[in-house]
Structures are given as C-alpha cells and as structure tokens.
Amino acid sequence: MRFLAYLQKTFKENVREWKITVLALVFGPFFVYMMYAYFGSATVRYTLLVVNRDRAVPAASGRLGAGDDLLAQWRAAKYPDGKAVFQVKEIAEAEEGIRELQDRSADLLLLIPADFSLRLSECMENKNGAVPRLTNVGDHSNVRFTVATAFVDFVAYAYISQVAKVVMPLQVDFQPVAAGRDLSEFDLYVPALLVLAIIMVLFTAAASLIKEVDKGTISRLILSRLTAFEFLGAIAANQVLISTAALGLTYLAALHVGYRSAGSLALFLLVGALSSLAVVAISLLVAAFMRTIFELLTVGVFPFFVLMFFSECMFPLPRITLFRLAGHAFYANDLLPTALTVKAFNKILNFRAGLGDLSYELGGIVVLTVLYFVLGAWLFHRRHVRVR
C-alpha cells in the first residue's frame, strides 16, 4: 500500500518533470543516430593520399607500371558488403599530403618512388636484386593510420606476390568471430550506446532522491510510516521502468538504422534491467554526498563521466588487471557494473551468447549491485535520514 503510494507519487513526479525524463529517454537514441551518421552502416573508409612518381618499364609481358597497378588495386579493395576500403587520392607533392595528415583529413600518405617498377622488374628477373620500396607516412598515434597501413600492406603484398609470381610460404584466412556475419564498426558501438541509455538513469534516480532532501520533504517521509525499503524500492522500480524504456528506444533506434541483433531479446532485457538496478544503486551513493539538485547537475556530472568512459562507452581503454582468480583476470573497470553490461550486451547481441556464457558478467553485475545498494543505502541513511 505505502510502496504503491510512493511508486505512484514518484512516477507522477517523473512524468511532470518531463525535461529530465525525456532527456534520459532520448539520450541513447540520439547517440545511436549520431554515431550512425559518423560511422554509417559499413566499416570505416580510409583516406589514402598517394604520390606516385613511378615510371613504367618494358617487361616480358609488355610494359610494367607497378605504381598505377597498385593504385588500381587499392581502389578496388572492398569489404565483404561490397563497399570500398579506401578512398584513394593522387597528389603531386608529399608536403601537401603531410598537411592533410596533420589536420586528419587523410589517414595515410604513400610515396611510390620513380624506380618502383624498375626495381620490381629487376627483382622478377634476378631474385637477388634490390627490392622495390614503398614509404608509408602518417601519425602513429592515430589508430586509423595503423589500421589503414595494415590493409594497404595486405593489398600490396598480394599484388607483388601475384606479379612476381612469388608463392608466399603462408596463407592467412580471415574468419568473423560474430555469429555468422561480419560486424561493422557501428555494430561494435551499439552495445556501448545501449549502456549509455542505462547510465542516464543516474541523473533521474539521484534527482528523485536528492529532491526529497533539497525540498525538506524527507522529514515528512521520516516521520511517516513509509519504510526505507518501501522508499528505495519504489524509486528503484520507477527508475528501472524508465531505464528499460530508454533501453528499448535506443534498441529500436539501432534497428532503425540497420543494426541486426544475433542474440536473445529476453536475455538482453534481463541484463538491461539488472544493470539499471545497478545504476540506481550507484545513484544512491551519489545522492548520499549531495544535498541539492544544483549539486547533482554540476558535481554529479563527474560520476556520470566516470561511468561513461570507464565502461568503454566512448572508446576502448587499456585493461588494468587487479588480480587473477581461477585463471580469470579481474580488471579495474569491472568494478563498474556498466562495464560488465557492455561486455554482456556485446556477447548477446553480436555473438549470440546464451545465459551460460554470461556467468561472469551477470554474477559481477549482481554482486556489484548488491554491494553498491547496501553501501549507498547506508550512506544515504547516515547523511540524510538518520536523526542526529
């Protein structure tokens, strides 16, 4: 009865303070559309700048223009979905390319020397001759440079081994790890974007708690028969509802732009609901240290960003191993339930994982939720509810 009364009250308040609720609901979908706009539905296209000074040379089969051939090979390189890997742009001078690399409008500059075909031709005739050289220029701190270089080299080696009729003593096959399909870069972002929708509940849940302190209404609740369990339970139930709605909307947005999940929707929702509860528990911790909504919207941004970045919602981070147990490594960011949720969502949605495959992630989320809930409730009670 009292639980329902408070649930009804907090739900109405969330609906009437619609701005923050709407923000929580549209935050995830907004980022899905933004990321889709940037990364598209296919994998990334790398921009190559090529200074081709190569001069064709006579060869047994006619003329050998290896520089032009390589350019054609790079232009023809395709992903499995048929889209081009490279956008190839020929330029006259290296300096022009370096400027573009510096402002990151290109990923890689390739210099093909004037004697490229000549050296290749000599190598083909005399296996001990000097090998042709290609120069890759780029920003080594730019991940796109590293990836582009790998692709460029792969295409170049394939071309050279074909032209020079050299049989490579190694064959590398590529096999997608996803459930029978190739994943685009956008597909890899989707689990993190879904978790972003859950993290936004940090604000709505903490606001529901802090508002009672800020307005002094908590004193009315303290004196009434409403128990701490009913109070926190009603807020948690309401926030899980909002979070699940936000998660659903974000998922629909991902489907709308072409994302296709491989796994179980029910399992995804179960993990989402558990994770929402975990974020509510963290919001209790946050609310324990704040007294006003203003503090939440300023200081509260810090825990929000901690959750967002260290859950790898934005970009991958290096792993810091805390300890190993039974052969399993425990990483620092595993202390954040949302980091485990990103992993779980990735496994479910992209790799069709079942309940049995998620024991570590689910176990971690449950343990952390209980831990943070107990700690948060204790701190909140101590700082805002306890009679001093």
Partner 1 sequence: MAEADAILKVEGLTRRYGALTAVDGLSFAVRRGEVFGFLGPNGAGKTTTIKMMCGLLRPHGGSIEIAGRRMRAGDWKGLRCIGVCPQDIVLWDTMTCREQLEFMGRAYDLEWKCARRRAGALLAAFGLAEKGGHLARTLSGGMRRRLNIALALVHEPEVLFLDEPQAGLDPQSRVLVREYVRGLAGRTTVVLTTHDMEEAEKMSDRVCIVDHGRLLVLDTVAGIKAGLGQGDLFEVRITEDASGRLLPHLAGLEGRAGRFTARGNTVSLVAEDAAAVLPLVLQRIREQGLHLEDVRLRQTTLEDAFIRLTGRGLRE
Interacting residue with partner 1 among 5, 166, 265, 374 (CB under 8 A): 5
End-to-end CA distance of the chain: 29
Structure tokens at 114: 């004037």
The residue among 6 and 373 lying less far from partner 1, judged by its C-beta, is 6
Instruction: Supply the minimum distance, in Å, between the C-beta of residue 224 and partner 1.
Output: 4
Instruction: Supply the minimum distance, in Å, between the C-beta of residue 21 and partner 1.
Output: 11
The residue among 205 and 249 lying less far from partner 1, judged by its C-beta, is 205
Binding to partner 1 by residue 2, rule CB under 8 A? yes
Binding to partner 1 by residue 222, rule CB under 8 A? yes
User: Which H or E run includes 285?
Assistant: helix 265-288
The residue among 78 and 386 lying less far from partner 1, judged by its C-beta, is 386
Cα separation values, 188 from 47, 182, 239, Å: 21, 11, 27
DSSP state of 131: P
Structure tokens at 344: 């779980």
Structure tokens at 73: 């090979």
Nearest CA to 336 among 283, 264, 282, 257? 282
Binding to partner 1 by residue 6, rule CB under 8 A? yes
Instruction: Supply the minimum distance, in Å, between the C-beta of residue 3 and partner 1.
Output: 10
| Count of residues touching partner 1 (by CB under 8 A) | 23
By the 10 Å C-beta count (0-12 exposed, 13-18 middle, 19+ buried), 345 is classed as: buried
Scanning residues 43 to 62, which ones bind partner 1 (CB under 8 A)?
none
Binding to partner 1 by residue 226, rule CB under 8 A? yes
Binding to partner 1 by residue 382, rule CB under 8 A? no
Q: Contact, 160 vs 166, CB < 8 A? A: yes
Binding to partner 1 by residue 327, rule CB under 8 A? no
Binding to partner 1 by residue 294, rule CB under 8 A? no
Task: Annotate 358-372 with DSSP letters as a single string.
Answer: GHHHHHHHHHHHHHH
Instruction: Supply the minimum distance, in Å, between the C-beta of residue 388 and partner 1.
Output: 6
Interacting residue with partner 1 among 217, 255, 329, 374 (CB under 8 A): 217
What 3-state DSSP class applies to 74?
Answer: helix
Task: Annotate 230-271 with DSSP letters as a single string.
Answer: HHHHHHHHHHHHHHHHHHHHHHHHHHHTT----S-HHHHHHH
Binding to partner 1 by residue 9, rule CB under 8 A? yes
Structure tokens at 372: 């943070």
Binding to partner 1 by residue 224, rule CB under 8 A? yes
The residue among 12 and 53 lying less far from partner 1, judged by its C-beta, is 12
DSSP state of 49: E
Single-letter amino acid, residue 354: G
Binding to partner 1 by residue 383, rule CB under 8 A? no
Binding to partner 1 by residue 291, rule CB under 8 A? no
Instruction: Supply the minimum distance, in Å, between the C-beta of residue 11 and partner 1.
Output: 11
The CA distance from 258 to 36, in Å, is: 9
Binding to partner 1 by residue 216, rule CB under 8 A? yes
| Interacting residues with partner 1 (CB under 8 A) | 1-2, 5-6, 8-9, 12-13, 16-17, 215-217, 219-226, 387-388
